[in-house]
């Protein structure tokens, strides 16, 4: 699988504490990857570094066909280059309908000339309907986002990110607070999204990770402790000791 993101020897210290410690790993172009690890393992700091919110003290983060360094790019340039991030809490526009939320996200992805493209075009309406289908909200297009369930809001936000057509989507604990049925649907959305892009899911819920059925990276003290299938990493003695607390 060709590489989309390559993190090599990255370290980050906060007030003498090594949050990320010589971290190295690669993400493929159309890969679904789960990142797990106990609290304080460095998962958030890792995402902050990839999105340019935090700069590492050392190491390299290369991205895309040409292996462009993300460390030389601003947060907004990194986003423009196709790296999207979904935070834990959904940030949809509650007073707007699902259709309007998705349309705004599409417009946003068109840059300063969005107005010429116009939200009224048939192309936009078609893409909005398509996106709604991808996230399973095609029946709720005219409902206000504020009326949606927690799970539906999470899906809408994923849809808004997909509208921007990212090459790499970072998703922070998508299953938190969801019912089992909602979790299952979230799995389907992420698996489908990873067919055309890379998706990295940071998650605590082992059952959710198991259902994603993808390679898992276990972080501990800012480094990769284990990597492989969920069965492989959960059978690893080191993982059992630090993550499962046995």
Segment 139-158, which members bind ligand ADP (CB under 6 A)? none
Question: In the complex, what is the shortest distance from the CB of residue 92 to ligand ADP, in angstroms, rounded to a whole number?
Answer: 23
Total residues binding ligand ADP (CB under 6 A): 12
Q: Does 59 bind ligand ADP (CB under 6 A)?
A: no
Nearer CB in complex with ligand ADP: 140/217: 217
Question: In the complex, what is the shortest distance from the CB of residue 10 to ligand ADP, in angstroms, rounded to a whole number?
Answer: 12
- Of 42-50, 87-95, 174-182, 234-242, the segment contacting ligand ADP by CB under 6 A is 42-50
**32-36 and 215-220 beta bridge pairing:** parallel
In 3D, which of 213, 218, 224 has the Cα closest to residue 244? 218
What are the angstrom distances between the C-alpha of 101 and each of 82, 113, 159?
Answer: 20, 18, 9
Residues 138 and 154: their CA atoms lie apart, in Å, by: 15
Residues 92 and 89: their CA atoms lie apart, in Å, by: 9
Q: Does 16 bind ligand ADP (CB under 6 A)?
A: no
**Distance spanning both ends of the chain, measured CA to CA:** 35
Question: In the complex, what is the shortest distance from the CB of residue 117 to ligand ADP, in angstroms, rounded to a whole number?
Answer: 38
Contacts of 44 by beta carbon, 8 Å cutoff, 6+ apart: 172, 202
Determine which residue in the list 7, 31, 34, 45 makes contact with ligand ADP, applying CB under 6 A. 45
Determine which residue in the list 3, 11, 21, 44 makes contact with ligand ADP, applying CB under 6 A. 44
Q: Does 39 bind ligand ADP (CB under 6 A)?
A: yes
Beta bridge partners of 32: 199
Give CA torsion, residues 28, 30, 32, 35, to 10 deg. Answer: 30
* Edge-to-edge strand ranges of the sheet holding 198-202: 83-86, 168-172, 198-202, 32-36, 215-220, 223-228
Place of tokens 């992420």: 190
- Of 41-49, 104-112, 126-134, 179-187, the segment contacting ligand ADP by CB under 6 A is 41-49
Nearer CB in complex with ligand ADP: 8/44: 44
Determine which residue in the list 9, 14, 147, 184 makes contact with ligand ADP, applying CB under 6 A. 14
Determine which residue in the list 37, 159, 166, 174 makes contact with ligand ADP, applying CB under 6 A. 37
Q: Does 74 bind ligand ADP (CB under 6 A)?
A: no
CB 186 within 8 A of CB 174: yes
Q: Does 87 bind ligand ADP (CB under 6 A)?
A: no
Site residues for ligand ADP per CB under 6 A = 14-15, 17, 19, 37, 39-45
């Amino acid at each position: 699988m060709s590489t989309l993101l390559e993190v090599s020897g990255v370290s980050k210290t906060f007030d003498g504490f090594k949050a990320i410690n010589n971290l190295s790993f690669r993400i493929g172009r159309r890969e679904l990857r789960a990142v797990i690890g106990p609290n304080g393992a460095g998962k958030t700091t890792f995402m902050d570094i990839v999105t340019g919110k935090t700069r590492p003290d050392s190491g390299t983060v290369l991205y895309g066909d040409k292996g462009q360094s993300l460390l030389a790019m601003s947060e907004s340039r990194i986003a423009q280059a196709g790296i999207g991030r979904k935070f834990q809490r959904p940030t949809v526009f509650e007073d707007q309908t699902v259709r309007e939320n998705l349309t705004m996200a599409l417009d946003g992805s068109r840059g300063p000339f969005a107005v010429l493209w116009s939200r009224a075009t048939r192309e936009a309406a078609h893409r909005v309907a398509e996106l709604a289908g991808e996230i399973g909200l095609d029946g709720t297009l005219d409902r206000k986002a504020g009326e949606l369930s927690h799970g539906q809001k999470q899906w809408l936000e994923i849809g808004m990110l997909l509208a921007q057509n990212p090459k790499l989507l970072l998703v922070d604990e998508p299953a938190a607070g969801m019912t089992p049925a909602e979790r299952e649907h979230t799995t389907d959305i992420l698996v489908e999204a990873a067919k055309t892009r890379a998706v990295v899911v940071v998650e605590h819920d082992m059952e959710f990770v198991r259902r994603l059925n993808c390679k898992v990276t276990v972080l501990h003290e800012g480094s990769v402790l284990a990597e492989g299938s969920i069965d492989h990493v959960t059978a690893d003695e080191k993982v059992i000791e630090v993550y499962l607390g046995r």
